[in-house]
Structure 1
Amino acid sequence: MVSGSSSQFPLHQVLLDWIAGQSIADRAFLAAQLLHDADRAAAFGITSANVVSHLEQQLHWLRSSYAAIDRFCRTTLGWTGCSIEWLWNVGLPIAMRLSHWRQLQEPCLIVGILGGQGTGKTTLSRILTEILAVMGLCVGRLSIDDLYKTYAERQQLQQADPRLRWRGPPGTHDVELGLSVLQQLRSVSPHQPVAIPRFDKSLWSGAGDRTDPEIVTKADIVLFEGWFVGVRPIDPAAFDSAPPPIVTETDRAFARDINDRLRDYLPLWQQLDRLVVLCPTDYRFSQQWRRQAEHQMIAAGRTGMTDAEIDEFVEYFWRSLHPELFIPPLLRDPRTDLVIELSIDHQPLRIYHPISH
């Protein structure tokens, strides 16, 4: 039996005891915890009127999903396990919100997940897929990377515009392919399967190319993630006083051209029913996260970039779509449904909806 206040019983212990089959005598403490942060509660649709029923649902899904999610984190992600507090405070509430949105958007809900390098957007998508599977929902996953033009097409693109020396910026994707795939996923069935494109970054000595597609016969929810999914063009005048590394007239010309190319992606963004934004409190965290990832690869005996190469790589993307210019508008845009602010150690500091914030 677990009872008492959070000062007597830390949240993680209360939740672990619940998973182990014990009851919770005093649910008021958990209900108060769900309502404590007004912005977060509003983002997840939790009110004083529905907090009791929401709590019961969340407790049910915690007990039902924890073992599977913990096993997934250990065996697939290589972690030491799943943080039960993260699952309670972030994973489950997001999954429950997606499930709610899905009920309002049949037959298929398409959710964009925007996050810069190292924010954890792909990992979040994978964990949400596992949680939603426990809830009985089939999830299709698509990355903006899966929509890259073929190797041959990108070679031609680089010859036409040498500034596009790396894949990634607007202009290096097959937007029509993405549009077709998302439209097909809205009505996918066993009788009309959809081929979701996949991209193998290891081909052509790291330049990457299309590989065999994944065949999908059902999708209740589609998670479409990428580093600029949902990002919209801004006023070109913003580049007149843009932040570094946009410092030269050549840099500004490149940034303006990439900004123009974003217009080609607007039909793709129109397919999004919801948008989730992962936002570091400092966009420069992505540089440090990339260094950590590369250092880990080198330590594991694989090929990785030097710090100088990482800086050049990251700054290239800042020149194309600078986070200080393109992300703040989304944090105020009512078309954004959920904002998750991240600390340097990937902890969610704030979760809110732009309108209720």
Structure 2
Amino acid sequence: MDFGASDLDLFHSVLPNFEQFCHTHLGKPPAEMLAVLRDLWIPLSIKLASHRQELGRPLIQGILGGQGTGKTTMCRVLSFILQELGYRTLNLSLDDLYKTYSDRLILTQEDPRLIWRGPPGTHDLDLGLKVLDQIRQGESPVIVPRFDKSAYNGAGDRTTPEMVTNIDIVLFEGWFVGVKPINPDIFDTAPPPILTAEDRVFAREMNQQLQNYLPLWDRLDSLMVLYPTDYRCSLTWRKQAEQQMIARGKGGMSDAQIEDFVNYFWRSLHPELFIPPLVKSPTTVDVVIGINPDHSMYLRG
């Protein structure tokens, strides 16, 4: 994705919004982020706008990335660039499709291993299918579910839904959006620390649960993967984010709690087992964005 002279006007038109975003949301000087805006986010936005035009209907763009990879940041930046191009976007998270708090309590009673939200089986798939189908078919308005992670002392629950109209592009992000089941025999050979003997049973069952998500993934018109050079960076990034929140006077998890939380996700769908097959599949993934330990991004060939 090359940045040509014809894109300079777009670059300058989004620059004021981008500079404000860097100050208020990223806490970084805009100068540090101009290269990624020029070389990655603007070309990606133009690609999405072109795809929307080719389809002749709303585009459903999947964005897959683990914790701390910058999914939310990317969606926000792409949204205001696309707005400048004249496209109305909807940022939808896989989190917005969680089952209600009461339904997840029942899940935990049925399977005590599901101590937190997150893994396959904790989402309302019928709700997701309904929302995406309504948007794909051009219905307007559409009622979009939203999720409040702070409800019930951090357990989270549904909150007031959002009514949206005339959506052109959905940026549908999540930690396993688009992830497909793998050969279950792989779990027998995956060595510790990727999987312990106890984890293999849980991983097999979560892999089977992924079958239920395939109809949802079928609604994706395109899939983008945010791919860290080392999956363990997610743990470091999550700790840094919590420490920053604590420094600002907000509540946050201890390092030990973060490790338990992140490892819980890895035990269900370990990135070393599920992500490499995806990024090697040209028919499944359209764009792969590499992420270095310092959070710098680059387009993988």
Q: TM-score, normalised by structure 1?
A: 0.81
Which structure has the greater CA radius of gyration? 1
CA contact (8 A) 1:188 1:217 kept: no
In the alignment, what sits opposite 2:101? 151
Q: Which amino acid aligns with 2:251?
A: T
Q: Residues of 2 paired with 1:96 and 1:244: CA distance?
A: 43
Using a 3 Å threshold, how does the CA distance of structure 1 residues 247 and 78 change in structure 2: closer, same or farther? closer
Q: Residues of 2 paired with 1:299 and 1:346: CA distance?
A: 20
Does 1:89 pair with 2:4? no
Q: Residues of 2 paired with 1:67 and 1:301: CA distance?
A: 29
Q: Residues of 2 paired with 1:139 and 1:163: CA distance?
A: 36
Using a 3 Å threshold, how does the CA distance of structure 1 residues 245 and 148 change in structure 2: closer, same or farther? farther
Does 1:113 pair with 2:63? yes
- The equivalent position to 1:346 in structure 2, one of 290, 295, 301, is 295
Does 1:59 pair with 2:8? yes
- The equivalent position to 2:74 in structure 1, one of 120, 124, 144, is 124
In the alignment, what sits opposite 2:225? 277
Q: Residues of 2 paired with 1:65 and 1:244: CA distance?
A: 47
Q: Residues of 2 paired with 1:122 and 1:214: CA distance?
A: 18
Q: Residues of 1 paired with 2:82 and 2:69: CA distance?
A: 21
In the alignment, what sits opposite 2:240? 292
Matches within 5 A, 1:133-144: 133-144=83-94
Matched residue count: 299
Q: Helix, strand or coil for the counterpart of 2:300? A: strand
Moved beyond 3 Å, runs of 4+: 75-80, 243-248
* 1:76 CA displacement: 4.8
CA contact (8 A) 2:194 2:272 kept: no
- The equivalent position to 1:163 in structure 2, one of 113, 116, 120, is 113
C-alpha deviations, 1:96-125, integer Å up to 9, x for none?
111111111121000000000000011100
Matches within 5 A, 1:321-332: 321-332=269-280
Using a 3 Å threshold, how does the CA distance of structure 1 residues 243 and 218 change in structure 2: closer, same or farther? farther
CA contact (8 A) 1:112 1:272 kept: yes
CA contact (8 A) 2:99 2:124 kept: yes
Q: Which amino acid aligns with 2:199?
A: D
CA contact (8 A) 2:23 2:29 kept: yes
Matches within 5 A, 1:230-241: 230-241=178-189
Does 1:216 pair with 2:164? yes
Q: Residues of 2 paired with 1:248 and 1:346: CA distance?
A: 29
* 1:71 CA displacement: 2.2
C-alpha deviations, 1:177-198, integer Å up to 9, x for none?
0011000111345xx3101100
Q: Residues of 1 paired with 2:4 and 2:195: CA distance?
A: 51
Q: TM-score, normalised by structure 2?
A: 0.95
Q: Residues of 2 paired with 1:230 and 1:68: CA distance?
A: 31
- The equivalent position to 1:178 in structure 2, one of 109, 128, 134, is 128
Q: Which amino acid aligns with 1:344?
A: P
CA contact (8 A) 1:245 1:318 kept: no
Q: Residues of 1 paired with 2:5 and 2:234: CA distance?
A: 37
Q: Residues of 2 paired with 1:68 and 1:302: CA distance?
A: 27
Q: Residues of 1 paired with 2:83 and 2:170: CA distance?
A: 13
Q: Residues of 2 paired with 1:234 and 1:244: CA distance?
A: 18
Q: Which amino acid aligns with 1:57?
A: S
Q: Helix, strand or coil for the counterpart of 2:64? A: strand
Gap runs ≥5 in structure 1: 1-43, 47-53, 353-357
* 1:201 CA displacement: 0.5
Quick one: higher RCO (CA 8 Å, sep 6+), 1 or 2? 2
C-alpha deviations, 1:211-237, integer Å up to 9, x for none?
011111111100000000000000000
Q: Percent identity?
A: 55
Using a 3 Å threshold, how does the CA distance of structure 1 residues 343 and 76 change in structure 2: closer, same or farther? closer
Q: Which amino acid aligns with 2:287?
A: L
Q: Residues of 1 paired with 2:194 and 2:8: CA distance?
A: 49
CA contact (8 A) 2:195 2:267 kept: no
* 1:77 CA displacement: 4.6
Once superposed, what is the RMSD of the aligned Cα atoms? 1.5
